[in-house]
Amino acid sequence: MLARAIMFAAIYHCDEDERGRPFILHAIDVMNNLAIKNNEKLSTIAVLHGILERTDITEERLRKEFPDDVVDAVVALTRKPNQSYFEYIEQVSKNPHAVVVKISDLDFSVDRSPAETKEIEQYTDARDTLLQKVLGGSLGKVLGI
């Protein structure tokens, strides 16, 4: 499943990230930055985390290629047009798999981004919100770890 996700994402992520690199490299970086290693489902979600937001791939198409729980997490990680960042983080917080991947994404972005201070503060606040959700819930049980 992971190899298929990497090939799928590499084909469709022809756009660039904020640093001018192909977005697939960011997706791989997020996967490699996961706190939970060697988990194929989380790695697959990480590789696909931007595919609905940044490409013309639809949720329906993704469901034909990947299991529903993987797609559900990718959908949770997809920010809708006109959705505030706070609403987006609340959306992510409702899916435990999405939470783990988003924390990895935020950690990677804060550590390696030449972002403005305001953006870094927003990322840090989002990470803290998600961590509170994790610590207050039974994430390990849900993820089967």
Q: Which CATH number is 11's domain given?
A: 1.10.3210.10
Total number of domains constituting the chain: 1
Question: Which two tokens mark 12?
Answer: 């469709």
What pLDDT, on the 0 to 100 scale, is given for residue 143?
52
pLDDT by residue (tens digit) across 112-132?
555 556 677 777 778 777 877
Quick one: tokens of 36? 């939970």
Closest CA to 103 of 16, 9, 15, 31: 31
Looking at per-residue confidence, does 72 or 126 come out higher? 72
In this structure, what are the phi and psi dihedrals at residue 22, rounded to the nearest 5 degrees? -55, 135
**What is the per-residue pLDDT across 14-55, written as a single tens digit (0 to 9) for each?**
777 777 788 899 999 999 999 888 999 999 999 999 999 999
Quote the domain boundaries for residue 86: 2-143
